Structure 1
Amino acid sequence: MLEALGLSTVNESVYRAMLTHPALDVAGLAAHLDLDPAQVHAALDVLADLALVRLDDTDGTARAVRPQTGLAALLAKVEADIAVRQQQIEAVRAAIADIAVTHEQHEVVLRLEGIDAVRDRLAELARTATTECLSFSPGGAQPADTLHAEAPLNAAALDRGVRIRNVYQDSFRNDPATLAHARRMATLGSESRTVPTLPMRLIIVDRSIALTPIDPREPRLGALELRSPGLVAGLLALFDQVWQQGSPFGEVPGARAGELTPQERALLQLFADGHTDESAARQLGISARSVQRLMNALTERLQASSRFQAGVEASRRGWI
């Protein structure tokens, strides 16, 4: 009945049972509903994420939030999300129309169809670049053919005095080929940093031309070449912000004693934002199994018995 609010049948049954029998603990709820305790723990994690369950400050037990407050607030959030999504759709529609007009009237947006067209254009830009090349490389392992194609072009640009700055995801350090490529470029003068997540694939040349994927989910479909000063300025600001937050290549992203690594902090924030193991893995450029391993380690480190309790403890420590 409440699937539209993000609750499965099991989650809803646990929530209803907590409202009807507030004295039941996890074992009691499992027995009452004929569920495995692990299912109850998982349901509590979901209910906590949806602000339908809170920890009692007096005894640390989980308490169900009154439906007049919890469900009503959740419904209002869903309605607000729909309204925001509709606004985003309208904004995207307007942006598409603007790009189309710009392309037709001023030719400041070019569509490069397919990966070969993109590589040909990048080769041309690498040969003509005079000052700087910036890039985001999301995901972990970079395609071998991409690394092979860009290595000599980057080397030639660096030899001409062009500054090259790359931002990879932290997970790239797990791929020997990508790591070797970054090390080889570093010896030639290229600068690289890493961050836990990247918004998209991006290349900016001489602070005046930017290439972004036609579809970020399928970069091999092609790219848009942007020359509009306003669009490029916005992408430059995004690059500079991410660059400042990155860990320089050669330094393993870490944390001071008692704190989180950037990747751990990003993982907790992704779960706080409602991501599943699979979607968090895609954002971080790692496997779902790695996500589970990281989260299990964090839960153990926080001495928590569930992800919900781990989130509460991480929040209490000011980690998220």
Structure 2
Amino acid sequence: MTQADLRFLGVDSDDEEIYRVLLRRGGFSRSELARLLAEEARDEAADQDPLAVHHRLTRLGLATETLGGLLAPVSPAKAVEGLVEHAVGRLRHELEQEVVSSGIVDSLLAEHDKSLDGRAQGLDLNVTTEHIEGMPSVRAAIDELTFFARTESLTTSPTGVLSPESIRHARVLDGRILRRNVHMRTLMASTALEDPGTMDYLYELVSKGAHIRISYLPLERLIICDRAVALTPIDPVNTSRGAILTRDPGLVAALVALFERMWRTAHDLPLAADGEAAGSDLANDFQRRLLRSLCTAQKDEIGARDLGMAVRTYRKHVASIMQLLGAANRFQAALLARERGWI
């Protein structure tokens, strides 16, 4: 029977072979890894740097370094799951970039506009403000706005509490925005502090680069993208009636100014007394990957690329987690994280 390999998940044969040896032996010291590579070099005339191999295995999620300094294998199920997640994320990013560069959506929208133009509805397709009736149409408009957002997304949640269904829907849209490094700011009503599910989701967004504040004052419902288009409810008391979408520069500017005033009076998302995010486990998957990158990536550019973000965003997350750990430098942050069992 032919042995399956991991090449389709981006792991070359040399790294996979070392991972298989790790699984059989249970772990290596650095000296043992160097001896193994030296033996392979004699057999195959291929010289590999032990430190580089160590970094690659941990970066790929195939191995982790124990508190005792051993290189230990990650369980096969977890390792493959991580490889699949990384591959899917990379493919999704590539496809989204291809969609944007190809102009396919604009092309399809042009066909849709032609069909509207051919209908005797008296519609002016060049209007800057339009009424969108019904929640299905509003959701479709929000999907389109977030898809085309390129620089900034400003949103408010006057109710504060997000239902599980709302979170499931929002996670897709918010994830799409944050993967493109769009600057995302969200204002939440203070009632969010009383709902664990909402708070967990807010800290999830923060871990991915979003900026969130809590307002103790009334909020107006707004969605603004790229300071060029805004969405507000037709009836703030009954949002199910629909929304008003505007691209009018003057009106959008006024709504941006309103958002900025509400933002200035709001408060940063609070931390619990022990320094951890209320209602959440700070050692989540993103933070563990970030901490591992501090141990393995030789440059910020490499760490940022591995995590699929801009260097500036990567450095911001590094500074945040150093502050959380009370670390004076990155080396100390890694040591403190290991003491807590986060990596």
Q: Give TM class, smaller chain.
A: 0.3 to 0.5
Using the size of structure 1 for normalisation, the TM-score is 0.45
